[in-house]
Amino acid sequence: MTAEPTVIVPARAPAPASTTPAKSGTPPHLTNWPLIHNMPDFLTPLLTDTFYLYYRNLNRTLGPIMTHFIFDRVENYVSDPTEMKRILTSKEFRRNDFFLKVTPDVFGYALFAMETGPVWQKHRKAIVSGMGPQFVRKAYGVTVDLVQDLTRMFDAHIVNSEDGSFVMNIREYLSLLTLDVLTRVAFSHDMNCLQGFDDLKSGKDSVDKRSVQLRTYVDEIGRIGIYRTFVPKFLWGFFKISETDVVPITTYFDAMINEFLAPRRQKAEEGEEEESESDLLTPLLKKTEDGEMLFSDKEIRDECMALMFAGHDTTSNTITNVFLQLCQHPDALKTLHQEIDANYPPDSTEFPRLDELSKFEYLDYVFKETQRTKNILMGLDRVVASENMEMLGYKFKKNDYFSANLQTVFLDPQYWGPDAEEFKPERWINKEVVDGTFMPFGAGQHMCPGMKMAIMEAKVVLIQLLRTFDFELIPGQKLELVDGIVCHLPNGLELKVTKRREE
């Protein structure tokens, strides 16, 4: 945890705009020093990768709106649910591309960070068109197959062990499993990362050793992207986030993407691309009525990169956090085991159908409670789209920067009770959620298009693995999340795995 920063609060606390005329002054903030602004307070959280805690503490200390000054950026962080939802859904705000402007060598064109406008609309339409019900059905079948492969891998490790157990980093396995799901479903390409990784862990030779580097490179991309948004370019070399530092990572991913993209692009250019392929490359490789490619090579490459990153990293880290919470809360795990056994009996050989996953209600509670207590997104950013805007008693102008501070509201006792920071899945039973207090997938026109697939993947993985194995935390690990494009455990999660015992 970072130390509480010294804060400066205006003499007049902000009042609701409905009762007080909007002020032109600045909302509550830290001491804004000349030239260095808030860097004295911000430096330690930045260097320790915990600025998500820093911003959470600021909103708790300063109130539902506060301003932060960092070099040439003035940021406004909001933790009022009504105004947060307004930021994400109202036409008064739009998303800008400040993140893509500092990461053109990594993402460039990426739907998850693209500025609201015509180019975003074109990309969004293409991606959403490929992620309909048939996409989720296809992903379900692939996920079931891969999690059963993972079950066989774990069984083999246990059988070959001396004491009927083995220790592994589950985030590594989940990362590769979800990446294999994504590439098979989105790109119709089997990268076989999971099997290759397990072969190497088992001491076997593997043709493809790239999977070992994947987790490290994904985390490094997250670190570079976040640091670049806060650190001036003249300091990029000092923080090892320069264009030169990124080259090995982009080379690695470009080679991976080119494996499936090059042959499909050639087919599309020659008019041999078939609609029956029905994956996310299909709409990206379409041609206009004039016979030109609808998207440039750079756009297609960057969307593939973004899909590989956002489409698996968010899911794998969330599932990892579920395992962490369950290992730390045995009563919740026992209740979940009972539900799994009731809906998927130990003697059953048929995995529950896609439409049967809704029967696992307590699993829903566990998943939501993990998203709430260990959310992987600090916040969601927008800028003011209108010429003038008022919020919580203050006036703002066009292009002023705002962040809906999700984590602060997700853990606010005002909405979740005095035990808000505790993991209690039962709180979701008949829970009436205050509008704007729980938006883990965002809201409005930029809401995550892969939400249904992510929830389905998590349920399938958890049902199968928890039904089959017992998991125990290895002591001495760092279990506090750190910053990245998504917040994550710094070294993954090491667990001792054994065959499940009868309770």
Query: CB–CB of 77/66 below 8 Å?
Result: yes
Q: CA neighbours within 13 Å on the CB side: how many for 268? A: 24
Over its C-alpha atoms, the chain yields an Rg (Å, rounded) of 23
Look up tokens 């490459």; give the residue. Answer: 301
- Listing DSSP states for 324-340 in one string gives HHHHH-HHHHHHHHHHH
CA–chain centroid gap for 193, Å, is 20
Contact 65, 28 (CB under 8 A): yes
Q: Computed from CA positions of residues 228, 101, 315, 191, in that sequence, does the dihedral angle turn out positive or negative?
A: negative
Buried b (16+ CB within 10 A) or exposed e, 52-74: bbbbbbbbbebbbbbbbbbeeee
The two tokens of residue 55 are 């911003």
Identity of the residue numbered 342: A
How far is it, in rounded angstroms, from Cα 40 to Cα 409?
26
User: Which H or E element spans position 51?
Assistant: helix 51-62
d(CA 326, CA 341): 16
φ/ψ of 33, rounded to 5, equals -70, 150
What are the helix (H) ranges across 116-210? 118-129, 133-159, 170-187, 193-201
Q: 29 has which bridge partners?
A: 8, 67
Q: Which two tokens stand for residue 66?
A: 């506060």
Strands (E), 102-164: none
d(CA 193, CA 101): 31
Task: Map tokens 């339409």 to a residue.
Answer: 125
DSSP characters over 399-453: T-EEEE-HHHHHT-HHHH-TTTTS--GGGGTT--PPTTS--TT--GGGS-TTHHH
**How far apart, in whole angstroms, are the C-alpha atoms of residue 468 and residue 466?**
5
Decide the pairing of beta strands 380-384 and 93-94: antiparallel
Please say whether the beta carbons of 313 and 219 come within 8 A: no
Is 448 labelled a binding residue? yes
Which 8-state DSSP code applies to residue 108?
S
Residue set of the binding site:
448
Residue set of the binding site for heme:
448
